[in-house]
């Protein structure tokens, strides 16, 4: 597998898995406005998935399409962060995860706008506008719920404690990242840490929440080596139609 193909799968799979998880809220959001907001966020992410996986399929050059990559790969071929495959939990946890992801995604996509690969730069420029909008909403919601009632604060702190060990994986460079950085396609993920820390610390302070001290990090999603048990269950639902009726079209 070429490093560029793997990089594009990582980009596409993060958007796809988070997009699918977010779409699980469709019709069950805590309020009509929130339901619509979650569905729209999911839609943006699935749109970004089509761009990243579409390019990945071209780079691979084996005649697969974005749909083939999304619906016909198994869990161990997925390259998404573990954090995005963790089940939604309550509304607070879903928005906390969105926030922790958005706080990374915004500076990351901004950096990718200067990629040496023009297609990557174009997709990043399209996606970053949506990511900025998502970050605005997820930050506001984390603050509103964190600095809300005793109950909402307790739930947001529990969500943060649960998700925190998954955040370290975003910044763990590997051989593929180094190759992309040397080619000027993408910066090393570790260089995003300072910007992420700054956004996260300022929002958490306003939200009356405390980041855990531990820097232990679950890893294995970006490499595909060790996904959580949850991804397989999610894919079973997401892929069932193409698996049971191969080639079915809308």
Partner 1 sequence: MGVTEAQVWDWLDAVPDPEIPVISVVDLGVVRGVDVTGAAVKVTITPTYSGCPAMSVIALDIETALARQGVTDLTLETRIAPPWTTDWLSDKGRARLEGYGIAPPRAAGGPERCPRCRSTAVERVSQFGSTPCKAQWRCTDCLEPFDYFKCI
What is the smallest separation between the CB atom of 146 and partner 1, expressed in angstroms?
18
Is residue 144 part of the contact set for partner 1 (CB under 8 A)?
A: no
Q: Are 214 and 68 in contact (CB under 8 A)?
A: no
Q: Is the dihedral of CA 3, 6, 7, 8 positive or negative?
A: positive
Is residue 155 part of the contact set for partner 1 (CB under 8 A)?
A: no
Non-local CB neighbours of 250 within 8 Å, separated by 6+ positions = none
What is the smallest separation between the CB atom of 46 and partner 1, expressed in angstroms?
5
DSSP 3-state assignment of 247? coil
Is residue 125 part of the contact set for partner 1 (CB under 8 A)?
A: yes
Distances (CA, A) of 24 to 35, 38, 64, 77, 116: 10, 9, 27, 22, 36
> Tokens 């593929």 label which residue?
176
Question: Where in 42-81 is the site for partner 1 (CB under 8 A)?
Answer: 43-48, 50-51
Q: Which of 21, 93, 137, 155 binds partner 1 (CB under 8 A)?
A: 137
Q: Which of 8, 18, 103, 123 binds partner 1 (CB under 8 A)?
A: 123
Is residue 105 part of the contact set for partner 1 (CB under 8 A)?
A: no
Name the site residues for partner 1 (rule: CB under 8 A): 33-34, 36-37, 40-41, 43-48, 50-51, 121-123, 125-127, 129-130, 133, 136-137
């Amino acid at each position: 597998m070429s490093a560029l193909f793997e990089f594009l799968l990582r980009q596409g799979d993060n958007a796809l898995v988070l997009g699918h998880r977010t779409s699980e809220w469709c019709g069950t959001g805590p309020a009509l406005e929130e339901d619509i907001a979650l569905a729209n966020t999911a839609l943006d992410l699935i749109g970004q998935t089509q761009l990243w996986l579409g390019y990945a399929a071209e780079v691979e050059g084996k005649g697969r399409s974005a749909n083939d990559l999304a619906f016909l790969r198994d869990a161990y071929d997925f390259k998404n962060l573990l954090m995005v495959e963790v089940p939604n939990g309550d509304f607070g946890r879903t928005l906390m995860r969105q926030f922790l992801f958005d706080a990374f995604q915004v500076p990351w996509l901004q950096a990718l706008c200067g990629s040496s690969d023009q297609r990557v730069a174009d997709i990043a420029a399209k996606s970053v506008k949506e990511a900025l909008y998502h970050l605005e909403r997820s930050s506001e919601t984390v603050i509103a719920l964190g600095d809300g009632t005793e109950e909402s604060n307790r739930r947001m702190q529990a969500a943060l404690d649960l998700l925190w060990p998954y955040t370290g994986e975003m910044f763990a460079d590997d051989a593929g990242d180094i190759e992309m950085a040397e080619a000027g396609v993408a910066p090393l993920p570790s260089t995003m840490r300072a910007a992420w820390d700054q956004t996260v610390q300022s929002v958490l302070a306003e939200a009356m929440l405390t980041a855990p001290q531990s820097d232990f990090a679950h890893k294995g999603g970006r490499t595909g080596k060790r996904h959580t048990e949850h991804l397989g269950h999610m894919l079973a639902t997401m892929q069932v139609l193409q698996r049971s009726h191969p080639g079915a079209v809308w």
